[in-house]
Every structure is written in structure tokens, then in C-alpha cells.
Structure 1
Amino acid sequence: MAIHNPQMSSTIETSPATDISYHVTETGVGDPLVLLHGFTGSSESWADVTDRLSHRFRVIRIDLPGHGRTPAPPDPARCTLQLVASDIAARLRDLGSTPAHLVGYSMGARLALGIALLHPYAVRTLILESGSPGLATEAERAARRVLDEALATRIEQEGIVAFVEEWERLPLWESQQRLPEAVRQRLHAQRLRNTPSGLATSLRGMGTGAQPSFWDDLPRLSVPTLLITGALDAKFTEIARAMQARCPTMIHCVIADAGHVPHLECPAEFVKRVVEFIDR
């Protein structure tokens, strides 16, 4: 078993490769394992699983543009999924962390899939939690861009408190009502630390409507891939099954009694599944 190291937190400075300073937190020693959070999250979102994983891995958590301590660029066109994928691959290379085990949740899963397809040298294994290859048709993407723009504008106009209250009422999070009050309060406080401009820019640049479809690219995925969904999240469990049908080498794991965020709702089971997959 690797010796557990104290947490180290640092901001990776800009370089010719990227003009965005990504905040990176590292914990533990061993093979690099990278955690990419979802929309409204940050590196703090992985707190419960980081403690469990850092005994085995060098856990690298990255705040994505407009979240946590990584600022959003003024122009949303600078934080498209493709450009951020290139940024993350370059940062991992600078850190001497390629190829890495790459774990992404929701928005972070879409990004992780993009990294694996566009920069396969950077990825050793790929774990996608509640992920998606995007929307299949341009008509679907155009309709979603309208919705994302409306939400981005509302966030800017109404502020972070009103948005978080609205966001947390979505049926997607219903299963989280069973979590301990302290956990829910911690998650709420973390969301409030984001900024309206950061979240709005992220939606416009990296929202589901803005990203290209990766559905047709799935068969050429060259790295071992695990899909994780919660049994209570019917939508993303069905998406995972459709992904596996396109790429039969993928493994799909459904965690019982979990919704959209298994790593938060069932952290021990989530970590067990991740470690078992990597140990293969």
C-alpha cells in the first residue's frame, strides 16, 4: 500500500500551451488518477472519494474553467470542450502524469471522453460516471443551446443564490435527500462558492448543446473504459447502455440505490468499482 501524503494544492501557471490557470490539487502517491467534476462542482466535490483513493493513487483534482478556483475566460469560445480537453492533456503532460487513469462525472465525463478521443496518449484507463457522448443531432444541439443560453442569462441576472436554490430542486437530485444533512450542506456551500459569470461562461462554452457529438466516435475509443451509473438514474443508465451497444468493449456498472452522483451517494461502492476496474 502506498504511503499517504498530505494534500498539496497549487495553481498551475499559464504557459504557451494555454492562457488559463488551472487550479490543481494533488493527494497521495502512486499511479496518477485524475478526477474531473461536473457542472456547479469543483475539486471539493470529490472529497469523500479522494481520501479513499489516495492510499493507492496520486489523486489529481482539477477545477474546470468557471468553477472553484479556475477562472473562466472572458470569451466562452475559449472554453469549448475541445480546447479544454487540449488544456487538460497539456497540464497532465507538464505534471508528468500521462498516461493517467481518468475519472469524469457528468460534464467532467463528457470532457474525459473528449480527452480520450482527441488525446489518447494522455489516458491509461477511462471511467465515466453519469456521462454522455453528447446529443446526436444538430437539431437537438441547437435546441439545447437555446435552453443553455436562457439558463446562463438567468444565472447572470438573478445571481448565484437564486440559481443554486433552483438547481437543487431538480428531480435529478431527488435521491440525494437521503444523504446526511452535513453532506448536503457541504455540497450546497461548495456550489455557492462558484460565480454567476463563471457558470454562465461554462454553459455557453462547454454545455451539452455546445459540444460536438461523440456517438459515432465511440467504436474507435482505444482505452479500457468503465461506465458507472446509479440504478435510480434511469436516463443516464439508458445512455450508458446505448454507449455500450456502440462500443461493446466498454464495461457498464450500475450501482444499486444511487442516483445521478454515485461517488457522493455511495462513495465506498464507487471506489471499489473504480479500483477493481483499474486492477484488471
Structure 2
Amino acid sequence: MTIWHAERGTGEPVVLLHSTATDSGMWDHQWEALAERFRVIKVDFRGYGHTPYRAEKPYNHADDVARVLAALGVTQAALVGSSGAGRVALELAAAGLAGRLVLLNPISTLEPTPDLRAYWEEEGRLLERGDVQGAAELNARTLLGPEATDVAWRRVVEMQRHAFEVQLAADPEPEQFEHEVSPADIDVPALVVAGAHDLPYFLHSAHHLAGELPRARLVELEWAGHLPALERPEEISSLLLDYL
């Protein structure tokens, strides 16, 4: 199984890990900006972007990324994870592959809150009715903050719809698993970013993880929703360049 990836630039490696509502295209602006100073690597998880949705046995996103990094000769990198990819970044960090972390509106082990459950349930209803476009638009409407342009909105819909179509067509559906992670044991510098316009669950998760990680700093963006890299791409590129 080949995990699609691309790299650009030279210097210390930075790995961009996309949210599960998008694909590696969410990082288009940051990819360009960071490549002026770093060796930037981006991947598409299974069932997203350019990577097929199949597996001969249960798979794990972090294991997939670790194999990509090994093939590229990367033993440690700065890991930038958005939303659900924050979990992937933490699993990679627990395996010793992170020199630094940036987690944008990360998911956590906190119990889902009513706002998150309602969002998931509506998405499930739309997909059960076969309304893939409606489900993709729900994600864009829910996850993008007030600063997002129409271009960003259409891009999220496009990426999310493609992921839905690929994953719904899989037969049989691959089985995925996660590795156990203890954030308290991940002793690397970490920047945790929270969007003030995000769902309450993700705000709680960002604060929770910032409190658990030993060397974390929390930054709350008053203007941001769940996908700030698409909402104000120049500002997030600057934030990453400053931190990394």
C-alpha cells in the first residue's frame, strides 16, 4: 500500500498532517511558505486526496506516516497536525519521531460533548440519505470560522466530498486502530492552537492537551474556527514560521 506524499524545500523536516475533513490540500499556502526555510513533507491519509482507501489488515495513520518518513530518511521532524491529525502527531511523538509539535484545534480523549455528537449525527443522517454534497457542505459550514472566504468554503467542500465518495465506495471497508498515547510522557516543545469560533468540544480539547503536555504553550485565536490554516492562511504560515 503506497501512501501518497510530496516534499519540497531543504533544511529541517516539517511534516504537515491534514484534518479528517480535508486532505493535504488544506496546507497549500503553508506548503509554499514553509518550503523557503524547511524541508516540508505532506501526506494524504488512506481514503483522502491521492491515497486509496484500502488495507489488507488493520492499519494506523501514524504507522503509515512513520513508514513514509523512514523511506525518506527522516528520523525526527516538526509535526504539524490539524484536528484529528493531532492524534496522529501525538502517536508519532510517542514513538520518538517528533522534535517539536504544533496541534491546531486537536481532538483529544475527552468524552464527546453534545455539540460534537449533534454534528456527527447530522452528518450520518445526510450520508445515510445519500446526500454526500449536503454532508460535505455541513462540514464546511460547521468547521470554518467567520474569516473564511468563499474560495476556502468551496475547497473544504471539494476535499470532504472526495473523501466521502472514496470511503463510501470501499468494499470491504478497511479497519483502523489507534496506539495508546500518554501526552504527559511526550516531553517535546508543543504549540497548541485553539480557535475561539470552533465547536466547544475542540476548545476544551485544546486546553486539556495544553495542560497535559509537559512543554506546551496554548494560543487562542479570537478570529478562528476549526480550520485556521484555510481561514487566514497567511497568518497561520507566519505563526508556523515564527514558532518553528
Band the TM-score falls in, shorter-chain normalisation: 0.7 to 0.9
**CA 169–234 in structure 1, closer or farther in 2 if over 3 Å, else same:** closer
1:219 maps to: 184
**CA 95–159 in structure 1, closer or farther in 2 if over 3 Å, else same:** farther
- The answer to whether the 8 Å contact 2:29/2:237 transfers is no
Q: How does 1:2-17 map to 2 (within 5 A)?
A: none
Q: How does 1:1-280 map to 2 (within 5 A)?
A: 20-73=1-54, 78-79=58-59, 83-117=60-94, 119-120=95-96, 122-135=97-110, 155=127, 158=130, 160-170=132-142, 172-173=143-144, 175-176=145-146, 178-198=147-167, 205=175, 211=178, 214=181, 217-233=182-198, 235=200, 236-278=202-244
Q: Give the alignment's TM-score, normalised by structure 1.
A: 0.73
**CA 183–245 in structure 1, closer or farther in 2 if over 3 Å, else same:** closer
Return the offset for 1:150: 9.6
**CA 157–227 in structure 1, closer or farther in 2 if over 3 Å, else same:** same
Return the offset for 1:185: 2.2
- Describe the superposition over 1:72-102 as per-residue Cα deviations: whole angstroms up to 9, x where unpaired: 1257x623xxx32122112101101221111
Return the offset for 1:182: 2.6
Between the two structures, name the one with larger relative contact order (CA 8 Å, sep ≥ 6). Answer: 2
Give the total of aligned pairs.
238
Return the offset for 1:188: 2.4
Return the offset for 1:260: 1.0
Return the offset for 1:159: 5.5
Q: Single out whichever of 188-197 and 235-244 deviates more from structure 2.
A: 188-197
Return the offset for 1:59: 1.2
**CA 256–218 in structure 1, closer or farther in 2 if over 3 Å, else same:** same
CA RMSD of aligned residues (A): 3.2
Q: Give the alignment's TM-score, normalised by structure 2.
A: 0.82
- Describe the superposition over 1:3-45 as per-residue Cα deviations: whole angstroms up to 9, x where unpaired: xxxxxxxxxxxxxxxxx21000212222111111111311111
Output the CA distance in 2 between the equivalents of 1:49 and 1:131.
Answer: 18
Identify the structure with the greater helix proportion: 1
